[in-house]
Structure formats: structure tokens, C-alpha cells
């Protein structure tokens, strides 16, 4: 039997395996990373157009097609760009997310999952931690751009 064709077949199979492995890495979503960090996937809305994650320090940037609002027990506003640092059960240095309390919007600085068995998640909005049921964030929410962009507390636009 002639074995001259086998090196080409081996090379072809190796290239095919590498292509499949790299395709699998390309299909990883920000939601997959949230799960890996012990966070619920519903923290970010549907419709994310692109994202980047630096695995060395957990910093991320995600982009939405437009600023939008999602409704949980209260409303959350997402800017075009949302950034922060993923840690296990926590997102710190968060930018681009605001939470509504009564008629005011507060920038969310940190999101922390309590002990998972407690079923609680906390949003640090500076003046207070807003507590929610973890189950509210089981699925990525729809995000509506119908509502006007909110002004945050401390935002110069809020005073005008």
C-alpha cells in the first residue's frame, strides 16, 4: 500500500481540527463569560453587537446598537458602551449602566452576587445598595430604546 498520501491527510485533519477549535472560541459570548464568573446572564440585555474581554484582568467592553432600557423590578438603562471588570460573582468599575429609583437615575458602580444560595444580587449605586432577587436575571432582557435617555444623579445634564 502506498503511504505517500497519508502526510497530506494528517495535515488536512490537523488543520480541520484547528479550524473547529478556533470557531468554537469565536462563538463564545459575553453571556458565557458571565456564567464562568458565577454571574447571571440576564445582567446584560439582548442585542449586544460586539464585546471584548481581557482574560488577564477581567476587563470588558460591550457595545449595543443603541442606548436602551430594560425593566426588572425597576428600570436599568444601558448606554451604547458598557465596560467594567469581571471577578467571580462580581462586576466592578462598571460604567454605562444606570438604575432608576423613584424618579432618579443612579449610575451602577458594582454588581455583586451574594452567597448563591441566598438568591440575592446587589447593585451598588453609590448612596445605597439595591437588592434584587437573582432569579430576575436568569435570561437576557429585551431592551427598549423607546424611553428617553435618563439623566443621572450628579450628571450636569440633570441640573439643566
| Region 81-108 average pLDDT | 95
Question: Residues 74, 79, 84, 87: is their CA dihedral positive or negative?
Answer: positive
| CA-wise closest residue to 60 among 41, 100, 87, 39 | 87
State whether residue 108 is helix, strand or coil.
Answer: coil
Q: How many Cα atoms are found within 13 Å in the side-chain-facing hemisphere of 141?
A: 20
**pLDDT above 90 (res 159):** no
Q: How far apart are CA 42 and CA 34, in angstroms?
A: 9
Are the beta carbons of 134 and 121 closer than 8 angstroms?
yes
**Domain boundaries of the chain, sorted by first residue:** 30-159
Share of the chain above pLDDT 90, in %: 62
**What pTM did the predictor assign?**
0.76
Angle at 113 between CA 147 and CA 93, to 5 degrees: 65
Q: What is the pLDDT of residue 26?
A: 58
Over residues 33-54, the pLDDT tens digits come to 999 999 999 999 999 999 999 9
Looking at the domain 30-159, which fold is it? at5g01610, DUF538 DOMAIN (2.30.240)
Q: How far apart are CA 58 and CA 60, in angstroms?
A: 6
Amino acid at each position: 500500500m502506498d503511504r505517500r498520501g497519508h502526510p497530506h491527510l494528517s495535515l488536512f485533519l490537523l488543520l480541520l481540527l484547528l479550524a473547529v477549535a478556533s470557531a468554537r472560541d469565536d462563538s463564545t459570548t459575553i453571556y458565557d463569560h458571565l456564567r464562568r464568573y458565577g454571574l447571571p446572564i440576564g445582567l446584560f440585555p439582548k442585542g449586544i453587537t460586539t464585546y471584548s474581554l481581557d482574560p488577564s484582568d477581567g476587563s470588558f467592553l460591550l457595545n449595543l446598537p443603541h442606548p436602551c432600557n430594560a425593566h426588572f423590578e425597576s428600570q436599568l438603562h444601558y448606554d451604547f458602551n458598557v465596560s467594567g471588570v469581571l471577578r467571580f460573582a462580581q462586576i466592578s468599575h462598571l460604567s454605562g449602566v444606570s438604575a432608576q429609583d423613584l424618579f432618579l437615575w443612579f449610575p451602577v458602580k458594582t454588581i455583586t452576587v451574594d452567597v448563591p444560595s441566598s438568591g440575592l444580587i446587589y447593585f451598588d449605586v453609590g448612596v445605597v445598595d439595591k437588592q434584587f432577587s437573582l432569579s430576575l436575571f436568569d435570561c437576557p432582557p429585551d431592551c427598549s430604546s423607546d424611553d428617553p435617555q435618563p439623566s443621572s444623579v450628579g450628571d450636569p445634564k440633570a441640573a439643566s
